[in-house]
């Protein structure tokens, strides 16, 4: 897949997306994760807490694979903005709609890389006294970790590449891809 660079002019070099994880592999792994989550919490209602916006496709598919009572809530934080690298500053943009006290909460995130976003969220959420607080991530970029955060449920460990698709974006683009791919930027050194 190719796409014009954000703000690029006609004839400008294009970004490319190289497929990394197919839609079929993602769906198979999500089914496995759903079974494991329900096995770990066989009789409990589970609140899936989606981290907007990237986690929405993953949360929707995961919810359908967890038998029993499942509810949703959403929280929004930002650390990337329109950049390809995290700013390191995490900001809460949207809080939860209801209390999580005494509930089994599964934070659903598209990707765990530096861990700073999840570290920030866990600190906030633990203060709200959930019964259980677990993390499910579609992608785990272990090589980028700077915070001591580990997911309880991981879809795929991936290399340190900038990935898009299945909810992950670059400047709000590519979220709708049904697969995960590596985003390659045109060379800026004058090479073609």
Provide the whole-model pTM: 0.86
Place of tokens 């909810």: 167
> Which tokens hold the place of 30?
């999500």
Told to judge if 113 belongs to the known catalytic residues of this protein, a careful annotator would answer yes
Strands 180-184, 14-21: pairing is antiparallel
Instruction: Give the sign of the dihedral formed by CA 8, CA 14, CA 18, CA 19.
Output: positive
pLDDT tens sequence for the chain (192 residues): 444 444 444 555 789 999 999 999 999 999 999 999 999 999 999 999 999 999 999 999 999 999 999 999 999 987 754 555 555 677 888 989 999 999 999 999 999 999 999 999 999 999 999 999 999 999 999 999 999 999 999 999 999 999 999 999 999 999 999 999 999 988 755 444
Catalytic residue, from 61, 110, 113, 140: name it.
113
- CB 84, CB 5: distance < 8 Å: no
DSSP 186: P
How many CB atoms within 10 Å of residue 13?
15
Strands 163-164, 180-184: pairing is antiparallel
Look at residue 2 and give its three-state secondary structure: strand
Domains and CATH numbers, the chain: 22-159 (3.40.50.2020)
């Amino acid at each position: 897949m190719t796409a014009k660079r954000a703000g690029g002019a006609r004839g400008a070099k294009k970004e490319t997306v190289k497929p990394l994880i197919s839609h079929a592999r993602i769906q198979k792994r999500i089914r496995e994760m759903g079974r494991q989550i329900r096995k770990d919490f066989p009789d409990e209602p589970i609140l899936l807490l989606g981290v907007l916006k990237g986690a929405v496709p993953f949360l929707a598919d995961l919810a359908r694979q967890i038998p029993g009572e499942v509810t949703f809530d959403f929280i929004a934080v930002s650390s990337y903005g329109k950049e390809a690298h995290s700013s390191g500053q995490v900001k809460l943009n949207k809080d939860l709609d209801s209390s999580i006290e005494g509930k089994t909460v599964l934070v659903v995130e598209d990707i765990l890389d530096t861990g700073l976003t999840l570290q920030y969220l866990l600190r906030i959420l633990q203060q709200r006294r959930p019964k259980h607080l677990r993390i499910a991530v579609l992608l785990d970029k272990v090589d980028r970790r700077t915070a001591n955060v580990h997911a309880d449920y991981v879809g795929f460990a991936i290399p340190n590449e900038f990935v898009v698709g299945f909810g992950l974006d670059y400047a709000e683009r590519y979220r709708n891809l049904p697969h995960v791919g590596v985003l390659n930027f045109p060379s800026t050194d004058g090479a073609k």
